[in-house]
Structure 1
């Protein structure tokens, strides 16, 4: 079984994108790793497939709804694939050391943010890094 990158995004059609044109893309073609995209919007519960809302504690902008993201994360980790990381400018830098650490496991679940970010309750409850 190859290493898996499971990506939660509002734009699954963007993948593999530039990854397909790089050394990582060649490894993807060889089957050294796999990429799975999950459309976060498919976990919305209303007829408009709404994924954003105003921040719970107030503030400007919109954040991704915690119920939708939580359901998407449940689905993405259903087979035990961990860790789950959240891509944000405020998070840990994705450097070579972290990539090497992540590559030692079976894969990773990557949550791509949007709007003003993600409701902080999900980050804390899920221990996202």
Structure 2
């Protein structure tokens, strides 16, 4: 019962954050969501929870592909946008491989790459 209440509170809290966020803050929230999902996938690998790992990695890939990549303006963003697009594609591909092989090192590499970009976004604010 407490778990359901906690999940409902988290959902309301997230919806409030999103509805009140600036475009810059929304990008940071996307990074945070992807990073948390990758971290969670690593914990699931340690515990042998294959279904949880797959779900967490799928969530991270979805955030990267349908959130972060979709925010890129390849026409006006120039070389930076193109490089980010390629990097996001690379990270998504590596996450798929990490999922297939339960590879903690690939997960950590993806986390580190994404976190470097996230840190830069946080510093912009």
Query: What TM-score do you get using the length of structure 1 for normalisation?
Result: 0.26
Normalized per residue, the structure richer in helix is 2
Specify which structure has the higher proportion of strand: 1
